Structure 1
Amino acid sequence: MILVTGASGFVGREVVAQLAAAGERVRAMSRNPSRLSVPDGVEVVRGDLLEPSSMAAALTGVDRMYLFPEPRTAVEVVAAARAAGVERIVTLSSGAVTAGLDTDYQYPVEQAVEASGCEWTHLRPGEFASNTLRLWGPSIRTERVVRHHQPDWRGLPTHEADIAAVGVAALLGDGHHGRAYDLTGPERLSPRDQVRALSDALGEEVRIEEVTAERARELLHELGGWAAENADFLTGFESYSPSEIPDHTPEEWDAMIVPLPTVEEVTGRPARTYAQWARDHVGSFR
């Protein structure tokens, strides 16, 4: 039995779907199981990573686990998993760990997993393509516009299905123990490029409007939720642990943003493009 925590998340949903498609016995865990939509045959259970004691039923009979990062209780959750008989854990982490920028969120979860005695694999994606749905979805749906403070900055948006596919490979196959997989999309794209891909998927124009960082932060706070919580970080007013940031010029940072072949190396097929992501999610922008 494979337990998928954070099963309502973008990556977690894909892990559940891909495991089910492979014919595996899957248990999907969520704090709000009534909100989960899962393939036939997938067991749904309630469990909260912030309340490790609530996971007893979810962990029963489980030998492998996909772990959503929650640093506040990672040690207790991993200990409970190990005691229940879990032998392999695949952790959703972040490329910020590889870059030395994350010391207090995903990294402590990785440390807890590595210290557990379980076989482990860490998934370290950089930029999530799905963030554009969270950040731009409301304004695209209502106005067909995206307002951004850096419309020409280029990143490597990664399709959540590719992150999940690497995780599924690690859950099901051998040769992944002790590996930390840095994951990126296949091409460097700016917000302007991404908006163009969304326009193509929708079949109508979506405008991009450059605003100041201050205004961008205001708009994110107006969105609320995840966008508001991360507004300072997303607009450059806050960074990862400042004392830990390596000393690089903007040009050096830009040069380090290069597509990685990890998805294809692990899964045997090329990483999905952002244009594919836009087509897969176009209904959410209408």
Structure 2
Amino acid sequence: MILVTGATGHVGRPLVDLLLEAGVGVRALTRDPARARLPQGVEVARTQDLPMEGIDSVFFVLAAFPEGPAELIERAKQHGVRRIVALSSYTARDDDPKNFIAVRHRDLERRIEESGLEWTFLHPAGGLAVTALEWCEQIRTTGVARGPFARAHSAPLHERDIAEIGARALLTDELLGTRPLFSGPESITYADRARIIGEAIGKPVRFEEITHDEARKEMGDVGIPPGAIEARLTMFAQLVDRPHEISPVERYLGTPGRTFARWAADHAADFR
């Protein structure tokens, strides 16, 4: 049986479906099982209970355990868990001690690697397409998407592609002991993202560039930690007018990555 943490999240939810399709048992952790709405056949449990009995492999998401993986690792070793596949970050390759996001993910990887368990660390690069959902209310009510860097490039990943690579790491030994790096299939600006969403919903969407201070306030208002805010602003600034490097998912999945236009079409209802 495979334990999926963050099972109702953007990556965890499609991963649950993929594992069920593969015919394996799934125990899904969520903060509120009564509201999880997961498919029939999934064993649902509370994240804080952390039930490990009968688990062979774990998909770990740091967002579900903001205090880190220490307790999960200890419970996993007590119950004979064999493997942890962690959704990490390409920033873990950055050894800058001032990069808050990098430091957190390097620590995550170090703790799991030192546990002696089998591991794979997923390194999505180029940004997650789902971050555009931050614009839902703005686009629905004003037709405008606000952000600090209109010309900053990214190569946004569809969450389904991340889930498919996670499933491969859980179900096969092909990615064992590796840190697969992968991005979306195209480099686009944040202004492009707004335009593409508009095309998907059938009405113009304009990107409105805001100041750094305005961006800090808006990100802080939704609970992003100050260190993460500064790391994001620094990263965005470095990507202005600079096309993002593409690391194709084909090398892991054998098929091209899903475009941002595909993501926008899949999520059009969220913006209407």
- TM-score norm. by structure 1 comes to 0.85
> What do the CA deviations read for 1:140-181 (whole angstroms, capped 9, x no partner)?
121111122211111111111111110100100122111001
CA distance in 2, matches of 1:131, 1:227: 16
| SS of corresponding position for 2:119 | strand
Match of 2:146 in 1: 147
Distance (whole Å) between structure 1 residues aligned to residue 82 and residue 154 of structure 2: 35
User: Equivalents in 1 of 2:132, 2:210: separation in Å?
Assistant: 17
CA 1:147 to 1:47, structure 2 compared with 1: closer, same or farther past 3 Å?
A: closer
1:185-196 paired onto structure 2 within 5 Å = 185-196=184-195
1:93 corresponds, among 88, 93, 117, to 88
Distance in 2, Cα, partners of 1:142 & 1:2? 41
Instruction: Determine the C-alpha separation between the residues in 2 that align with 1:66 and 1:219.
Output: 31
Which residue identity does 1:161 align to in structure 2?
A: R
Runs of 5+ consecutive residues of structure 2 not aligned to the other structure: none
Separation in 2 of the partners of 1:226 and 1:196? 26
1:259 corresponds, among 246, 265, 268, to 246
Structure 1 pair 229–45 and aligned structure 2 pair: CA distance change class (3 A): farther
Q: CA deviation at 1:99?
A: 3.0
1:67 corresponds in structure 2 to: 60
Q: What residue in structure 2 maps to residue 280 of structure 1? A: 266
Q: Give the secondary-structure state (helix, strand or coil) at the position aligned to 1:179.
A: coil
TM-superposed CA distance for 1:271, in Å, is 0.8
| CA distance in structure 2 between the partners assigned to 1:226 and 1:142 by the alignment | 23
Q: 1:105 to 1:259 in 2, by over 3 A?
A: same
Task: Verify: 1:271 aligned to 2:267, yes or no.
Answer: no
The residue that corresponds to 1:80 in the other structure is 75
Matched, 1:121 2:114: no
Normalising to structure 2: TM-score of the pair? 0.89
Aligned equivalent of 1:242: none
Q: What are structure 1's unaligned runs of at least 5 residues? A: 49-53, 240-248
Partners of 1:251 and 1:234 in 2: CA distance: 11
Query: Given that residues 152 and 241 in structure 2 are in contact (C-alpha distance below 8 angstroms), is that contact kept between their aligned partners in structure 1?
Result: no
Does the 8 A contact of 2:153 with 2:240 survive in 1?
A: no
CA contact (8 A) 2:6 2:61 kept: yes
Give CA-to-partner distance per residue, 1:179-232, whole Å, 9 cap, x none: 00112101101011111110111011111122222223333345x244999544
**Residue 41 (structure 2) aligns with:** 41
RMSD, aligned CA: 2.4
SS class of match (2:73): helix
Report how far residue 234 of structure 1 moved: 3.6
Distance of 1:271 and 1:253 partners within structure 2: 23
Alignment-derived partner of residue 170 in structure 1: 169
Instruction: For 1:4, give the aligned amino acid.
Output: V
Question: How many corresponding residue pairs?
Answer: 264
> CA 1:251–1:122 in 2, change beyond 3 Å: closer, same or farther?
closer
Contact kept in structure 1, 2:152 and 2:239, CA below 8 Å: no
CA contact (8 A) 1:124 1:182 kept: yes
For the residues of structure 2 that align with 1:108 and 1:71, how far apart are their CA atoms? 12
Deviation at 1:21, TM superposition (A): 1.9
